[in-house]
Amino acid sequence: MSLDHTRAPFYEALLAEKNFAPLSFHMPGHKFKAGLLPDLTTWLGADWAAVDVNECSPTVDYLHAPGPALRDAQALAADLAGSDATFFLVNGATVGNQAMLLATAHDGQKVIVSRASHRSIYAGLILSGARPVYVPASVHPATGLPLAVSTAAIAAALQANPEAVAVQITGINYYGYLPDVPALVALAHAHDVPLLVDEAHGAHLGLHPMLPRSAVQLGADLVVQSPHKTLGALTQAAWLHVVGDRVARPALAQALALLQSSSPSVLLTGSLDVVRRRMALDGRRLLGRVVALAARARDSIRAIQGLDCYGPELIDDAQGIAAHDPSKLVIDVRASGLTGTQLQARLREQSRLGVEFADPGHVVCSITAADDDETVDALLEALRRAVVGSREAQSGALEIGDLPPIPAMALTPRQALGAPTTVVRLEDAIGRVCGEQVMPYPPGIPLLLPGEVVGAEHVDYLRGQLAHGVRLVGPEDPGLQTLRVIIHVERGA
Ligand SMILES: Cc1ncc(COP(=O)(O)O)c(C=O)c1O
Q: What is the pLDDT of residues 260-275, one digit of tens each?
A: 999 999 999 999 999 9
Compute the distance from residue 200 Cα to the ligand 1 centre, in Å: 5
Q: For 421-439, what is the mean pLDDT? A: 97
Confidence tier at 282 by pLDDT (50, 70, 90): very high
The predicted-structure confidence for 340-355, as pLDDT tens digits, reads as follows: 999 999 999 999 999 9
Residue 265: CB atoms within 10 Å: 18
What is the DSSP-derived secondary structure letter of residue 296? H
Which residues touch 189 (CB under 8 Å, ≥6 apart)? 195, 219
Q: Which CATH number fits domain 413-486: 3.90.100.10, 3.40.50.1820, 3.40.50.720, 2.60.120.10?
A: 3.90.100.10
CATH number of the structural domain 284-392: 3.90.1150.150
CA 104, 110, 111, 116 dihedral sign is positive
Q: Please indicate whether residue 92, judged by its CB atom, sits closer than 6 Å to ligand 1.
A: yes
CA 135, 141, 145, 147 dihedral sign is negative
d(CA 199, CA 415): 28
Looking at residue 493, its pLDDT comes to: 47
In 3D, which of 483, 421, 418 has the Cα closest to residue 447? 483
Looking at residue 27, its pLDDT comes to: 83
Q: Could you give phi then psi for residue 225, rounded to 5 degrees?
A: -130, 150
The predicted-structure confidence for 300-315, as pLDDT tens digits, reads as follows: 999 999 999 999 999 9
CA 33, 34, 36: angle at the middle one, nearest 5?
A: 80
Confidence tier at 398 by pLDDT (50, 70, 90): low
Number of H helices, E strands in the chain: 15, 20
The predicted-structure confidence for 115-160, as pLDDT tens digits, reads as follows: 999 999 999 999 999 999 999 988 888 898 888 899 999 999 999 9
Contact call for residues 5 and 281 (beta carbons, < 8 A): yes
Looking at residue 489, its pLDDT comes to: 59
Q: Please indicate whether residue 226, judged by its CB atom, sits closer than 6 Å to ligand 1.
A: yes
Looking at residue 128, its pLDDT comes to: 97
In 3D, which of 203, 431, 453 has the Cα closest to residue 325? 203
pTM, to two decimals = 0.94
Q: What is the best residue among 100, 205, 224, 226 to mutate for testing ligand 1's pocket, by most ligand atoms within 8 Å of CB?
A: 226
Compute the distance from residue 118 Cα to the ligand 1 centre, in Å: 6
Q: For 99-106, what is the mean pLDDT? A: 97
The predicted-structure confidence for 174-207, as pLDDT tens digits, reads as follows: 999 999 999 999 999 999 999 999 999 999 999 9
The helix (H) or strand (E) run that includes residue 15 is helix 9-20
Q: What is the best residue among 91, 98, 101, 118 to mutate for testing ligand 1's pocket, by most ligand atoms within 8 Å of CB?
A: 118
Q: Please indicate whether residue 199, judged by its CB atom, sits closer than 6 Å to ligand 1.
A: no
d(CA 472, CA 345): 20
Q: Please indicate whether residue 175, judged by its CB atom, sits closer than 6 Å to ligand 1.
A: no
In 3D, which of 206, 159, 122, 182 has the Cα closest to residue 452? 122
Residue 5 three-state SS: coil
Q: What is the best residue among 113, 201, 328 to mutate for testing ligand 1's pocket, by most ligand atoms within 8 Å of CB?
A: 201
The predicted-structure confidence for 357-386, as pLDDT tens digits, reads as follows: 998 899 999 999 999 999 999 999 999 999
Compute the distance from residue 4 Cα to the ligand 1 centre, in Å: 30
Contact call for residues 115 and 275 (beta carbons, < 8 A): no
- Alpha-carbon separation of residue 409 from 132, 413, 423, 453, 491 (angstroms): 9, 9, 19, 6, 11
Would you mind telling me the total number of residues written for the chain in this entry?
A: 493
The predicted-structure confidence for 2-54, as pLDDT tens digits, reads as follows: 999 999 999 999 999 999 988 888 888 898 888 888 898 998 999 999 999 99
Looking at residue 139, its pLDDT comes to: 84
Asked whether the domain spanning 413-486 has the same topology as the one spanning 9-279, the reply is no
Confidence tier at 396 by pLDDT (50, 70, 90): low
Q: What is the best residue among 89, 90, 94 to mutate for testing ligand 1's pocket, by most ligand atoms within 8 Å of CB?
A: 94
Domain boundaries along the sequence of the chain: 9-279, 284-392, 413-486
Own/partner long-range contacts of 457-460 (Cβ < 8 Å, ≥24 apart): 457/404, 457/405, 458/404, 458/407, 459/426, 459/427, 459/429, 459/430, 460/404
Instruction: To the nearest 10°, report the CA torsion of 40, 41, 42, 44.
Output: 70
Looking at residue 236, its pLDDT comes to: 96
Q: Which ligand 1 atom minimizes the distance to the CA of 198?
A: 3
Helix axes 9-20 and 266-302, enclosed angle (nearest 10): 120
Domain 9-279, architecture per CATH: 3-Layer(aba) Sandwich (3.40)
d(CA 68, CA 85): 15
% of the chain surpassing 70 pLDDT = 97
d(CA 74, CA 217): 17
Q: Please indicate whether residue 118, judged by its CB atom, sits closer than 6 Å to ligand 1.
A: yes
Residue 18: CB atoms within 10 Å: 18
What is the DSSP-derived secondary structure letter of residue 312? G
d(CA 404, CA 448): 10
Residue 193 three-state SS: coil
Exposed, middle or buried: residue 51 (CB in 10 Å: 0-12, 13-18, 19+)? middle
Compute the distance from residue 391 Cα to the ligand 1 centre, in Å: 35
Q: For 60-84, give one letter per residue: b (16+ CB within 10 A) or e.
A: bbebeebbebbebbbebbbbbbbbe
Residue 431: CB atoms within 10 Å: 10
Share the mean pLDDT of the chain: 94
What is the DSSP-derived secondary structure letter of residue 98? H
Compute the distance from residue 174 Cα to the ligand 1 centre, in Å: 9
Q: What are the DSSP calls for 49-68, one per residue?
A: HHH---TTSTTSPBTTB--H
d(CA 54, CA 373): 39
% of the chain surpassing 90 pLDDT = 84
Confidence tier at 402 by pLDDT (50, 70, 90): confident
pLDDT for 390 beyond 80: no
Contact call for residues 398 and 144 (beta carbons, < 8 A): yes
Looking at residue 141, its pLDDT comes to: 86
pLDDT for 474 beyond 80: yes
